[in-house]
Amino acid sequence: MGESTNEWNLLAPIIPFVLVAPLLYAQGWESVEAAFLIVVIPLLTFPAILVAGQIYNGNETWKNRFKEGGIFGLGALASSLSISLWIVYDYVAGSSHFEMHSVVEPFSWLTFDVIHYDGSQWDVSSGFADIGVGVWLDPVSLMLLFVATFLCFLICWFSLGYMNTDPINEDSNHRFYGEFVLFAIGMFGMVLADNFLWLFIFWEIMGLCSYLLIGFYYWKDSAAAAAKKAFLTTRVGDVFLMVGLLMLYDIYGSLEFSIIFDDPSTGVGGALVNSTDLNWALLMLFIGAVGKSAQFPLHVWLPDAMEGPTPVSALIHAATMVNAGLYLVFRMVPFVDVHVNGVAGLEDFALVVAWIGGITAFMAAAIAFVQNDIKKVLAYSTMSQLAYIFTGLGAGLLFLNLGEYHAGYFVIGASMFHLFNHAMAKGMLFMASGSVIHEVHHAHHHLHHDDHDFDPQDMRNMGGLASKMPITSIAMMFGSMSIIGIPLIGGFWSKEGIIAETWLAYLHKEPLMLGPAILVLATAGMTGFYMTRMWLMTFAGPPKSDVAEHVHEGTPWIKEPLIILTVVTALGGFLLALLGAVDYLGGEKDHLAMHGVVDTLKHAFLPDDNELRAIGWSTILLAAIIGPIMASRVHGGKLAEGVKANPIVGWLVNLSSKFGSQDVSEMANSQLAEALQRRLYFDDLYEWIVANTAIPFASFSAWFDKNIIDGVIKQIESNSVSGSVSVRGITTGSTRDYILMAAVGMLSIFALIWGVSA
Amino acid sequence: MIETSWIVGLGVILFFIGLIGAFTRKNAIVVLMCIEVMLNAANLNFVAGASHYSDVDGWVFTAIAIAIAAAEVAIGLAILLSLYSTQETISLDEANILKN
Amino acid sequence: MGIAMAVAVIATMLFLGQIGNIDWTNITQGGYVLQNEAVELIPSIGVSWKVGADALSFPMIWLTAVLIPISMLVEWDAKRGHLFHPLLLVMEGALLGVFVVLDLFVFYVFWELTLIPMFLLILMWGGDDRRYASMKFFIYTFAASVIMLVGILVMYFHTDPISGMGSLTGHHFDLVAMTAQENLIPSEGLRHLVWLMLLIGFATKMPSVPVHTWLPDAHVQAPTAGSMLLAGVMLKMGAYGFLRVAVTVFPESTIEFIPLLIVLGMASLVYGAWVCMGQTNLKRMVAYSSVSHMGLIFLGIATMQPLGIAGALFMMFAHGIISPLLFAVAGAFKHHYHTLEIGSMRGIAHHSPWLAAHMMLGWMASLGLPLLAGFVAEVAIMIAFWMTYGWLVLLPALTLIITAVYYLSSMQRTIFESNDPEKGILPDTMHGEEPRDITWHENAGMLILGAMTVLFGIMPFIFWDMMSDWSSGFTFETLIDAMHSQGWKP
Amino acid sequence: MSSILTDIDLDTTMLLLPEILMLLGIVAMILIPNLGDATMRIPLTRTRVPIFIGGTRSEFSNNPKLPNTIASGVLGLALLTSFLYLGEEADVGNALHIDEFSRLFTLLFTSALLLATLATSTRMPAKPKATPPMVADSDEVADSKVAALIDNRRQVDFHILLLTTGLGMSLMAMATNLFMLFVCLELASLSSYVLVAFHKEADVGGEAGMKYFMVGSVVSAIGIYGMSLLYIWSGSLDMAELAATWSAMETNDPLAIIGVGMMMVAFGFKVGAAPFHLAVPDAYSGASSPIAGLLATASKAMGFVALIRLLLIVTMPPSGQAIWMLSIALIAVLTMTWGNLAALTSDNPKRMLAYSSVAHAGYMLAAMAAIGSGLADASSSSMILTAVVFHLLILVLFKLGAFLVLSMLEADGGGHRIEDLHGLVRREPAIGVAMFVFMLSLAGVPPLSGFLSKLLMINGIVSVSAGTGAVTSTTVVDWAGGVDPLFWLAVAIVLNSALSLFYYLRIGLVMFFESPETESGLRNAPNLRLAIFGCAILTILFGIGPMSEWLLDMVTSAVDSMMGL
């Protein structure tokens, strides 16, 4: 495949990596016993890539044969993928089932004692466990593990084509692959961790990699600033997350999932858990999740993070890392699940989750309306879709806390399913956008060597690419459909459930859920608009610049992952829906089982409940019809004369031109559009706050330290010097004064002695 | 016989005359004389004590103190001469190259 | 200098060789090992040569033995190496002395002895303002330690006679015996005063706000190896001494003054971080970050939890690995770019990829990234702090954000940002010199430090276990009684 | 039949050997350089018999280095003998008493003098090949030749004065009678006045001598007057009798206490206590460095012996606070603070050392105050006194050592400005490092001996005072309210030590880091170098380890013998 068939032989080094899983199987290992290797193999690989890259930089073999380390990265990820597939096979198709304990006994990492005051005296607290590290698997982590390993592998594959062909990356790709693999370690570790602390540890590793990879083009001011912004913003959340951990540890005396989830209503030493305490702890954890998943109000970093190379955006900032927050919120389910030992009284927390999700979903979709940068559109789309999942989780937590566990499990399952669909689709969309950018950049490079102002990511420079990039356009179309929720494709199967259950929560349980419910419904239509807009601006209509006319799809390595993911996106959702993935992920069923096609379709389109039916159809109407049609009116159009798109997307291009064109320049110049362009001024606000509080305060502190605290010391010093000079002045040099002083001294002694003796 | 206390009283007066003179006069020779006066005040006391206690030590002390005074004056004058040879002054105020 | 290096390496090897002979069961249970028969040095006043190590001092000894060769390596090409490297050896001797002796007199002697080589290091190899800095360093810490000396003497005076010791004075300086003596100073007021005097000495060394201002000056002027040792080991002397003398001998006073400890710790941590943020000099910033991190040690002790104390111990150790790396990096900037002004050079990662990598690792370790050495300590201290003081933990926690801000900003403006993939922005101080990466020996030293940072981040239990046992034993044997007698409650 | 002659038995005479040696040295000093071929005509005859005194002197007696050699030899022997007879104890007549204490001080004085003598051997402007002027010489040449000859002659004067100083000091340490003590003190003082003024060609020599002499004479007049009051009061000046009378005294007799106060003034001047110290820096900076060093060590020690005798033997009450305690304590604080503050900005190294010497007097006075506080039992008194004496002993090493280094510079015309010390380490590494050691020891940096002695003094103060705070106090303020104010003396010492570091380190700094005005080395003076290195090494050795223990033991037993323990 690709331009040169002999590229395949480059893959030879990954064979031993792939063989790890079969070999272990042959040795009689259980799949879960090998789970730790998912983390350890990349852990050993990434320093090797970095160091070897530093040493062999510029070496021809290193560059051409090993793709500057990319091959080794791919190998490590392949072995992780193979092991995770082995585990997935064991659990999904095989006989293993999940129970409430770590699948691998934790290794004691930190041991210590804690003392406490029992009202009369201090004593050792027995209930506090060591902090260990082990492996934990349940349906959701299994799903996430698969997503992570699968996408990491594919995107690494994609990177071999994307990164190594760009001259600007030359001699620094080892850095990319090293950090990429390190990121994979973080993601795999977070998914496998069996306690909150290690979850947090890997969470931070991901944060580091996100920082490093956003700042991959370290010399770009914007990339450096974006990297810092990403790290700091998530750091704010992380700090609260850490505080949450402290609180949890104090409540339960452990951070192990198995210990906490065994009975979340009783804390350390058998004490009943106070819902207020737990509320605070969960809230703190949630702030961490908000930061990581770029939700309002800590969302500002994600659009800027697009400064990183596109594979990074695809993997970290769309498909995997940003899901960590969702995963963390999902982990809170046992706390609120009053059906099984949960703690009642946490509805407020659930509402907060839902509201944050609703607000972010709407806001991000709105901002996506006006973005012209293809990656920024996708970034806001990511934010918006993640927010859906948060809303769903919020609704689920609410249901569970109120005892409606069927609805709760369902919506939580739907949320997690949406996570899966979104990850696959969004990973693919980013790769496709990368493909577009890559080729546009190439074409531009080919045409105008010197012009550096050209932005290859700006959709206003594209147009009509459907004919030039068939595979990419197909992939992008399916990805967009999945995100929009076009019936039967990918995201439809999960999004529908989220929206419906959110409405149900409003209708039956909690009036305050109205807000999120309306917001997510509106967002569904908006998603239809901006995703269609993006596709049309890129692929439909005549080319908008000479560069766009010269684009052609050619680079190897890029197409294969796109094709694989297109298939997964297009069919995976339906397939999994048939298998009852929602129930499985929600925890209601402990295995996947094939449902009838008719049943499934009926459940989706014609549920028995009238309310559900109404909500479902209005969602479909908004998302699949109104939004896309409006987008077509503005951006649709035929390709240039004489070129033809392939039939799979051709119909869409032609269809879009049918709706005529509408001039929106007035709207585009409105104040609202301006506000959206400025991202609703949040970035400006934060910058203003920092510039007017933290920075002056820091300068003041530095001044204070130098002039006040050290000033006191310096004052002592200068006073000593002036004191010294004046004391020396008493020694006038005149002998008479000396004698006088002696006489005075004598009299003083008399006085003193006399005073003492009297 | 004169009361010992009267002699001591005279000694006190002499001593303070000497002491006050020592830090009010600028001329080194005069100060040297003031020191002599102070020493003589001490001698008076020794003499008075000797007669008061009928103790021969006091007389010896007096004699030796006079000898010390003489030595002191000799040395003092010699030092003043050397001061005069370099700075051409024997004023206690004016010789103040060394100070602070 | 080869000889000096060889001596240092041999010393380290000997020490590491001795590790096999150490009675680990004892040391991990908080007991002393290697405690020799006391050799009388000045028996008339009760001074003896008595050494021993336990889990409190062992990591510090290890640190010293390892850091000296590394700092030699980093400054392999120091000017006047025939003086420089022997001075480091003197430093090693003095530092090891501080950590092993159990006689307060000899302890004090070694304590002050460490000043001289460091003073000379700053003075002879320092930057432009080295005279002021070295004087300030010497006098500041000396003044504080003589106050501590008065405290030690008051303790000394209250010791019961031991036969054969102190023929002249009837007292002795034996710390172990002092610790064992019931109610060493009967008067509570005096005990508090002594404790405060000790605190002044130790807190200045640590250093804690408000007696920290010697540190930035000393660091900025010191040569790289000097800074590495200063931050890596010398600051730990303060914390070590505080735990070894003040807390161990006077647990009641420690509990009485917990609010003070919290105030000092918070001030160092929070205020130090803010000051860091306002710095424009790289090394100064790193120096203040040391102040900030040392604040955590006080907080860890103030929790009165075995966990918190173990965290404080681990903080000492972790900071002892990380801060030398930070200073090695800062020193390399000074060495190769002749400036430490943040922002005067940009995009340095292009010219010095190794330096940038080490900077990244060091900075990340220092801001408490998990799986690097500093994280465990921070988490342990914070867990304990939450248990004891609840929401007050938000202050140190939020300080982590400030820490991240100044570290990331400084990186952004040095190794990132030049808007040209082909070359970075070079400082004026280069005067057209060709920029280059760090030398092999700097690189080797930093690699070792970096590797240790990672090693102890992933496997903290290597030292954590003994520290944890020590602090548990210490809490159960000493602190709990004092907490009861003081009626201390959280 | 007893006569004076039979009273003096040979054993006692042997015990006085150091003093006798010094006396013989003085005589030899007068005679030997005058040995020549002079003859005398026997009256009424024409026969001339050689009398050897005068005339044309031989190469040997004409050697201007000879007096120095004699003095060194004599002092060396005296040092040796005093060391050999250290443990002996005997009465000599009824005014002198030889014991370990006094012999220890003889040791101190002779070693200080020996060091000063060694330093002088290359310091005095002696020119061995000086010849009388020829007729053909121009006026200038003739003048300089005459000057050289005169200089050579003055060698004898100088060394005689050194020996008389030593004799006076040594005898003073043995005196049991206050008057004897005073006379010996005057002998030493008067000699030292001349020694200070000895460099009379310089502008400052005469002035320094004049100031030192004037102030010294006034305070000794005050002292002798005070002593006369004591005599009137008790009828005797024997210290044992005075002490007995003193402790029998029920109400304080004004005669007695004023007398004691006046004697404190006289001795306070000798030790350089504020406010009587004002002439001290002038004298030190005007005198040649070895002499200044002598004043800072031996002379100061002499003053302290006198103070110890007066305050601890005569006026020490059996229990309770001595009446002089408060004034000594205040003087101590004033002295140390004044000395350190003034030294802080002194640009003349000699003045700086002079002020530092004042500060050290303050430390020792503080320790004395602790003894007088009435809180110290016999053993702690002995301990504190041990600290003081130990400090005095080792001061000879590093204070005099520092002056010796300065004297080395002085030989090349420098030593009066801090600039002269610039880059000393580069010019003379060994000397520079030795100087640095002296400075650190003066500052009290461990493990040097200066630290040990200061530590012992602080320890003394702390140990007698710290126990006085209320045992039941629960807060620091409580305790501080109850503690004896003496405790704060220790704090004052500590703070002053910190302050003093500034100027000591400054010397170190300029030696290491300023560029020297000239790169050339210093004069090759083997004796002096040897003396400096000896001082430096001993400064270190006496700081910690067996040597310090040995010295401390010696001092302790000496002090115990003096206090009758």
Quick check: C132 contacting A, CB < 8 Å?
no
**Distance, CA of A407 to CA of A397 (rounded, Å):** 10
Name, in order, each residue with C-beta under 8 angstroms of A83's C-beta and a sequence gap of 6 or more: A20, A21, A24, A31, A34, A35, A37, A38
Query: Alpha-carbon dihedral of residues B72, B78, B79, B85, nearest 10 degrees?
Result: 160
The pLDDT tens digits of the residues spanning C263-274 come to 999 999 999 999
The pLDDT tens digits of the residues spanning A594-620 come to 777 887 788 778 887 888 888 888 888
- In the structure encoding, which two tokens stand for residue C233, read together? 């080991």
pLDDT band at D125 (very low <50, low <70, confident <90, very high): low
The pLDDT tens digits of the residues spanning C57-82 come to 888 988 998 898 898 888 888 888 78
Tally of residues, chain A: 758
Q: Which residues of D touch C124 (CB under 8 A)?
A: 512-513
Alpha carbon of residue D544 to chain centroid: 24
Rounded to a whole number of angstroms, the distance from the CA of D406 to the nearest CA of chain C is 23
D129/A155: higher pLDDT: A155
pLDDT of residue B18: 93
Option in A197, A236, A709 nearest C213 (CB): A709
What is the pLDDT averaged over residues D549-562? Answer: 88
**Distance, CA of D453 to CA of D392 (rounded, Å):** 9
Q: What is the DSSP secondary structure assignment for residue D202, as one 8-state letter?
A: S
- Residues of C (71-100) whose Cβ lies below 8 Å from A: none
- Are B98 and D204 a contacting pair at CB < 8 A? yes
Alpha carbon of residue A427 to chain centroid: 12
Determine contact, residues A333/A400, Cβ cutoff 8 Å.
Answer: yes
Output the CA angle D511-D516-D519, nearest 5 degrees.
120
- Are D207 and B96 a contacting pair at CB < 8 A? yes
Q: Which pTM does this prediction carry? A: 0.88
Name, in order, each residue with C-beta under 8 angstroms of D353's C-beta and a sequence gap of 6 or more: D284, D292, D296, D399, D402, D403, D406
Determine contact, residues D527/D122, Cβ cutoff 8 Å.
Answer: yes
Decide if pLDDT at A2 tops 50: no
- Amino acid A396 reads G
The helix (H) or strand (E) run that includes residue C47 is strand C47-49
- Touching subunits for chain B (3+ Cβ pairs under 8 A): A, D
Quick check: B47 contacting D, CB < 8 Å?
no
- Are D509 and C123 a contacting pair at CB < 8 A? yes
**C358: alpha, beta or left? (left if phi > 0; alpha if psi -120 to 50):** alpha
The helix (H) or strand (E) run that includes residue C42 is strand C39-42
pLDDT of residue A615: 87
The helix (H) or strand (E) run that includes residue C304 is none
Quick check: C138 contacting D, CB < 8 Å?
yes
Q: Which residues of D touch A721 (CB under 8 A)?
A: 344-345
For residue C342, the SS3 value is: coil
The pLDDT tens digits of the residues spanning D7-42 come to 667 777 788 889 999 999 999 988 888 888 888 888
Determine contact, residues C337/C434, Cβ cutoff 8 Å.
Answer: no
pLDDT band at C419 (very low <50, low <70, confident <90, very high): confident
Looking up tokens 């990340």, which residue turns up?
C364
The pLDDT tens digits of the residues spanning A651-684 come to 888 888 888 777 777 777 888 888 888 888 888 8
Rounded to a whole number of angstroms, the distance from the CA of B6 to the nearest CA of chain D is 12
**Distance, CA of D145 to CA of D131 (rounded, Å):** 7
Quick check: D509 contacting C, CB < 8 Å?
yes
pLDDT band at A129 (very low <50, low <70, confident <90, very high): confident
Looking up tokens 């509402």, which residue turns up?
A351
User: pLDDT tens string for chain B (100 positions)?
Assistant: 678 888 888 999 999 999 999 989 889 999 999 999 999 999 999 999 998 888 888 899 999 999 999 999 999 999 999 888 888 888 888 888 888 7
Rounded to a whole number of angstroms, the distance from the CA of D442 to the nearest CA of chain C is 14
- Are D225 and B75 a contacting pair at CB < 8 A? no
Sign of CA pseudo-dihedral C140, C145, C150, C151 = positive
Name, in order, each residue with C-beta under 8 angstroms of A698's C-beta and a sequence gap of 6 or more: C274, C275, C276, C277, C278, C406
Determine contact, residues A89/A21, Cβ cutoff 8 Å.
Answer: no
- Are C419 and A220 a contacting pair at CB < 8 A? yes
Determine contact, residues D190/D230, Cβ cutoff 8 Å.
Answer: no
SS3 for D438-462 is: HHHHHHCCCCCHHHHHHHHHHHHHH
pLDDT of residue A1: 36
pLDDT of residue A5: 47
Q: Which residues of C touch A225 (CB under 8 A)?
A: 412
The pLDDT tens digits of the residues spanning D231-264 come to 998 888 888 889 888 888 878 888 888 999 999 9
Under an 8 Å CB criterion, which residues of D touch A? 210-211, 214-215, 218-219, 222, 252, 254, 257-258, 260-262, 264-265, 268-269, 274-276, 278-279, 281-282, 321, 323-327, 330-331, 338, 341-346, 499, 502
Rounded to a whole number of angstroms, the distance from the CA of A735 to the nearest CA of chain D is 6
Q: Which residues of C touch D498 (CB under 8 A)?
A: 139, 142-143, 146
Chains A and D touch (3+ CB pairs under 8 A): yes
Option in A724, A754, A757 nearest D344 (CB): A724
Domain boundaries, chain D: 2-563
**Least confident among A52-61, A545-554, C22-31, C375-384:** C22-31
Q: How many CB atoms lie within 10 A of CB D401?
A: 28
The pLDDT tens digits of the residues spanning A556-574 come to 778 888 888 888 888 888 8
Domain boundaries, chain C: 2-485
Determine contact, residues A303/A375, Cβ cutoff 8 Å.
Answer: no
Quick check: B33 contacting D, CB < 8 Å?
no
Beta bridge partners of D41: D48
- Residues of A (720-749) whose Cβ lies below 8 Å from B: 728-729, 731-737, 739-740, 743
**A490: alpha, beta or left? (left if phi > 0; alpha if psi -120 to 50):** left
pLDDT band at D1 (very low <50, low <70, confident <90, very high): very low
pLDDT of residue C21: 67
- Amino acid D421 reads L
- Residues of C (319-378) whose Cβ lies below 8 Å from A: 347, 349-350, 353-354, 356-357, 360, 364, 369-371, 375-376
For residue D229, the SS3 value is: helix
Beta bridge partners of C40: C48
Q: What is the DSSP secondary structure assignment for residue A621, as one 8-state letter?
A: I
pLDDT band at A101 (very low <50, low <70, confident <90, very high): low
Quick check: A721 contacting D, CB < 8 Å?
yes
Beta bridge partners of A27: none
Query: Alpha-carbon dihedral of residues A503, A508, A509, A515, nearest 10 degrees?
Result: 30
Q: Which residues of C touch A116 (CB under 8 A)?
A: 387
pLDDT of residue A4: 44
- In the structure encoding, which two tokens stand for residue D239, read together? 């210290």
Q: What is the largest CA-CA distance in chain A?
A: 125
What is the pLDDT averaged over residues D365-375? Answer: 89
The pLDDT tens digits of the residues spanning A163-174 come to 888 778 778 888
Which residue, among A610, A410, A609, A423, has the nearest Cα to A502 in the 3D structure? A410
Quick check: A713 contacting D, CB < 8 Å?
no
Which residue, among D179, D366, D195, has the nearest Cα to D271 in the 3D structure? D366
Determine contact, residues D272/D299, Cβ cutoff 8 Å.
Answer: no
Option in D200, D225, D286 nearest B42 (CB): D225
The helix (H) or strand (E) run that includes residue C412 is helix C394-412
By C-alpha distance, the chain D residue nearest B55 is D235
Name, in order, each residue with C-beta under 8 angstroms of A368's C-beta and a sequence gap of 6 or more: A376, A377, A380, A381, A384, A526, A530
- In the structure encoding, which two tokens stand for residue A471, read together? 């595979």
- Residues of B (73-92) whose Cβ lies below 8 Å from A: 92
Q: Which residues of B touch D214 (CB under 8 A)?
A: 22, 28, 31, 76, 92
The pLDDT tens digits of the residues spanning D474-503 come to 777 877 777 788 888 888 998 898 888 888
Quick check: D474 contacting C, CB < 8 Å?
yes
- Are C305 and A703 a contacting pair at CB < 8 A? no
Q: Which residues of D touch A731 (CB under 8 A)?
A: 278, 281-282, 342
Rounded to a whole number of angstroms, the distance from the CA of D369 to the nearest CA of chain A is 13
- In the structure encoding, which two tokens stand for residue A128, read together? 């506090």
Beta bridge partners of A104: A135
| Most confident of the ranges A236-250, D249-263, D411-425 | A236-250
pLDDT of residue C34: 63
Q: Can you tell me the ipTM of this complex?
A: 0.85
Name, in order, each residue with C-beta under 8 angstroms of C316's C-beta and a sequence gap of 6 or more: C59, C60, C236, C239, C240, C297
pLDDT of residue C363: 93
Quick check: C309 contacting A, CB < 8 Å?
no
Determine contact, residues A283/A403, Cβ cutoff 8 Å.
Answer: no
- Are B98 and A735 a contacting pair at CB < 8 A? no
Q: What is the DSSP secondary structure assignment for residue C74, as one 8-state letter?
A: H
- Are B96 and A728 a contacting pair at CB < 8 A? no
Determine contact, residues D217/B35, Cβ cutoff 8 Å.
Answer: yes
Q: What is the DSSP secondary structure assignment for residue A25, as one 8-state letter?
A: H
| Percent of residues, chain A, with pLDDT higher than 90 | 27
Q: Phi and psi dihedrals of C328, rounded to 5?
A: -65, -40
Option in C43, C109, C120 nearest D447 (CB): C109
- In the structure encoding, which two tokens stand for residue A697, read together? 């305060």
pLDDT of residue A3: 44
Quick check: B14 contacting D, CB < 8 Å?
no
Inter-chain Cβ pairs, chain A and chain B, closer than 8 A: 35
**Distance, CA of A613 to CA of D306 (rounded, Å):** 114
- Are D499 and A720 a contacting pair at CB < 8 A? yes
C-alpha distances in Å from residue B62, one per residue of B12, B51, B58, C251: 16, 12, 6, 67
Q: Which residues of C touch A117 (CB under 8 A)?
A: 489-490
Determine contact, residues A521/A440, Cβ cutoff 8 Å.
Answer: no
What is the pLDDT averaged over residues D68-91? Answer: 88
Segments of D94-241 assigned E as strands: 96-98
**Distance, CA of A641 to CA of B14 (rounded, Å):** 133
Inter-chain Cβ pairs, chain A and chain C, closer than 8 A: 172
Decide if pLDDT at A209 tops 70: yes
Quick check: C483 contacting A, CB < 8 Å?
yes
Determine contact, residues D434/D405, Cβ cutoff 8 Å.
Answer: yes
Which residue, among A496, A492, A468, A462, has the nearest Cα to A478 in the 3D structure? A492
**In A347-491, alpha helices (H):** 347-368, 374-401, 405-447, 470-484
Beta bridge partners of A450: none
By C-alpha distance, the chain A residue nearest C470 is A112
Decide if pLDDT at C440 tops 80: yes
pLDDT band at D6 (very low <50, low <70, confident <90, very high): low
For the residues of D320-363, what is the DSSP string, one character each? S--TTHHHHHHHHHHHHHHHHHHHHT--SHHHHHHHHHHHHHHH
